[in-house]
Amino acid sequence: MTCRPCLPAEPLVRRGTVRWYEHSQTPGTAAKDDRTGSDAKKGWTMKVLVAYGSQFGSTAQIAERIATVLRQEGHDSTVASVDEAPDPSAFGAAVVGSAVHAGHWLTGAATFLDRHRSSLASRPVWLFSSGPVGDRGVAAPQPDPKEVSKVRGSIGPRDHRVFAGSFDRATADFSGLGLVERTVVRRFLSDGDWRDWDAIEGWARGIARSLS
Ligand SMILES: Cc1cc2nc3c(=O)[nH]c(=O)nc-3n(C[C@H](O)[C@H](O)[C@H](O)COP(=O)(O)O)c2cc1C
């Protein structure tokens, strides 16, 4: 018989959702039948993929920070660029994010959502976009990038959050940008780092708690 606090390290089907858990306590030791709050650190581990699309590296750093917080909260997180073609079906949950260019996710991240739509739809998924820079941009209301609106119905993400971004033209490699994008950068993009690490970490902690 499988007792609830001693669930095996294999996929469990629960209310139609496949969840991957591992029990981090030695079987037979006093396990608490309580998977909330700090007990998550002691008892339950979810394998979580944090996949990102990033042109100049600042979204990659946001993804790394989210993965670090998930780890601190007791989950087994793996961070990977969408260009490395990670497979979300090997994970119990996924966080997927992208930098925003002209109101769109980067092509690699959009393709990742499309390619793995059915796999993502069958597990808990959180999305984030990393976009606005400049004081006015950061203060303005942020509409969903087109790719996020498109998958709200099909993937059903638990949440989508827009985080302020960062840009430094002195270090950015423009070789991957087209003519229109270079013009946008030259005319409209502010240099600086507006990333709100407290907001990012708080969001990641919320994800960790809801997976526990
Ligand atoms: C060509 C270009 C277009 C951009 N367009 C947008 C946009 O439409 N909306 C937005 O919020 N941010 C826009 N940004 C800002 C970036 O999304 C922001 O700098 C982000 O933090 C970059 O992430 P990365 O370093 O991971 O590439 C644009 C940046 C570039 C270079």
Q: What is the pLDDT of residue 87?
A: 98
| Per-residue 3-state assignment (H helix, E strand, C coil) for 14-31 | ECCEEEEEEECCCCCCCC
User: What is the block-wise mean pLDDT of the chain (212 residues), using blocks of 10 residues?
Assistant: 34 38 38 35 80 97 98 97 97 98 95 98 98 94 94 97 95 88 88 98 97 91
- Give 143 Cα–ligand 1 centroid separation in angstroms: 14
- Give 130 Cα–ligand 1 centroid separation in angstroms: 7
The model carries a pTM of 0.84
Q: What is the pLDDT of residue 22?
A: 52
- Give 99 Cα–ligand 1 centroid separation in angstroms: 6
Q: Return the ligand 1 atom nearest residue 106 CA.
A: 27
Q: Return the ligand 1 atom nearest residue 195 CA.
A: 21
Residues 6+ apart with CB under 8 A from 95: 48, 49, 50, 51, 63, 66, 70, 125, 126, 127, 128, 204, 207
Q: What is the pLDDT of residue 8?
A: 32
**What residue type is 187 in one-letter code?**
R
- Give 177 Cα–ligand 1 centroid separation in angstroms: 11
Mutation choice for ligand 1 from 133, 135, 136, 144, CB with most ligand atoms inside 8 A: 133
Answer yes or no: is the C-beta of 212 below 6 A from any ligand 1 atom. Answer: no
Rounded Cα distance between 32 and 42, Å, is 9
3-state secondary structure of 137: helix
Taken in order 101, 102, 107, 110, the sign of the CA dihedral is positive
- Under 8 Å between Cβ of 148 and 127: yes
Answer yes or no: is the C-beta of 129 below 6 A from any ligand 1 atom. Answer: no
Q: What is the pLDDT of residue 25?
A: 34
- Give 137 Cα–ligand 1 centroid separation in angstroms: 11
Dihedral pair phi/psi, residue 161, rounded to 5°? -125, 135
- Give 155 Cα–ligand 1 centroid separation in angstroms: 24
- Give 165 Cα–ligand 1 centroid separation in angstroms: 7
Dihedral pair phi/psi, residue 104, rounded to 5°? -125, 150
Q: Which two tokens stand for residue 76?
A: 């087994």
- Under 8 Å between Cβ of 58 and 99: yes
Residues 6+ apart with CB under 8 A from 37: 209, 212
Residues 6+ apart with CB under 8 A from 177: 55, 185
3-state secondary structure of 125: strand
**Which residue's CA is minimally distant from atom 22 of ligand 1?**
99
Q: What is the pLDDT of residue 21?
A: 53
**What residue type is 145 in one-letter code?**
P
**Geometric angle at alpha carbon 41, from 81 and 49, rounded to 5°:** 15
**Which residue's CA is minimally distant from atom 2 of ligand 1?**
101
Instruction: Give the domains, in start order, of the chain with CATH numbers.
Output: 34-211 (3.40.50.360)
Rounded Cα distance between 79 and 49, Å, is 6
Answer yes or no: is the C-beta of 165 below 6 A from any ligand 1 atom. Answer: yes
